[in-house]
Amino acid sequence: MNFCIMLSSWRKLAISSTNSPCTCKFIRTPLRNSYCSSVTSSVVSAPTSSAFLEEYLLDQSGESDLKPSSVLTELPVLEDVSHVGPPISHQSFNFAAYANESIVLQKLIDLGVDFYAIERSNKVLPSYLLQLNFEKHVQPYIQFLLDKKVPIEEMGKFFTKNPFFFQNNLDDLQPVIFELKDFAGFTQDECKSIILQQPYVLRVDVSELRRRIEYMKLDMNLPMSLIASDPAGLINRSRRLRERHLFLKSLGKDQYDPSLPKYVSITSITHGNDATFCESVAKTSVETFNLFLKSI
């Protein structure tokens, strides 16, 4: 299906029909030329192997037991952009050099994907994106998110936060949704909120996800609505959450109710290294924290 026609069925937007690869005009989406002119022209390389993906996800979530992706094999190059610049590296690519020529990049830009933000925050633009066919490899993922009630205007933000999302097998994502709704009892709106805030929850092993939910609900006494509004605990290691919660409890600082004084958010517990946690949240020294860990 033509991308512009497809998008018109998703949201009522003005569409200009020309011979260009895609001319959908999206609200809040910058023009490609001005967008590309602001992107750094330096080429940053980093491996896009399975090992690198795991390292990338660990940097994003502090998680090391994510389920492996089943779609990490190289895809055939489907777009001939060899005339634009040097041969495409299997590691990364120069976004500015290819944005005006690659159809899939243009359509992702139209969706609101901010490649400059990806490059700035992750120091890599995965070259596999240039090897995708939009209708075959991207559109099914958009439909998957739409089926989960993620609005089309949020897609750009979602893919910007999760540039490796298209390497997931859609069949592997459904069990996580089932776990959130049927086991945990999150509403459809709460599931949508969790996915938008923490896209990597879709890559967490289902059994590990269940353990985290149970711990926050039973041991930390968190209502499900609070977990949904601040789902950082769902993508962080259970050990880290447990250790820091127990330490705060020993200090009388395990106050997770946002309506009461001295509120501590789950994000603040799981964010950063031990030094940051001790200084910003526990208000004590790392040495004190380490001594406590030896006692549990």
DSSP-assigned beta bridge partners for residue 286: none
CB 235 within 8 A of CB 200: yes
Give residue for tokens 């149970």.
214
pLDDT digits (tens, 9 = 90+) for 34-91: 343 333 333 333 333 334 334 434 444 444 444 444 433 333 333 333 333 333 333 4
d(CA 27, CA 260): 39
Higher-pLDDT residue of 17 and 69 is 69
CB 207 within 8 A of CB 181: no
pLDDT, residue 52, reads 36
d(CA 36, CA 280): 38
pLDDT, residue 119, reads 77
- Identify which of 155, 171, 85 has the alpha carbon closest to the alpha carbon of residue 127: 85
Give residue for tokens 């299997």.
90
d(CA 273, CA 240): 10
CB 100 within 8 A of CB 130: no
How many other CB atoms sit within 10 Å of the CB of residue 176?
Answer: 21
CB 266 within 8 A of CB 222: yes
The pLDDT of residue 1 is above 80: no
Which amino acid, 35? Y
pTM greater than 0.75? no
Least confident of 106-115, 125-134, 235-244: 125-134
Which amino acid, 170? L
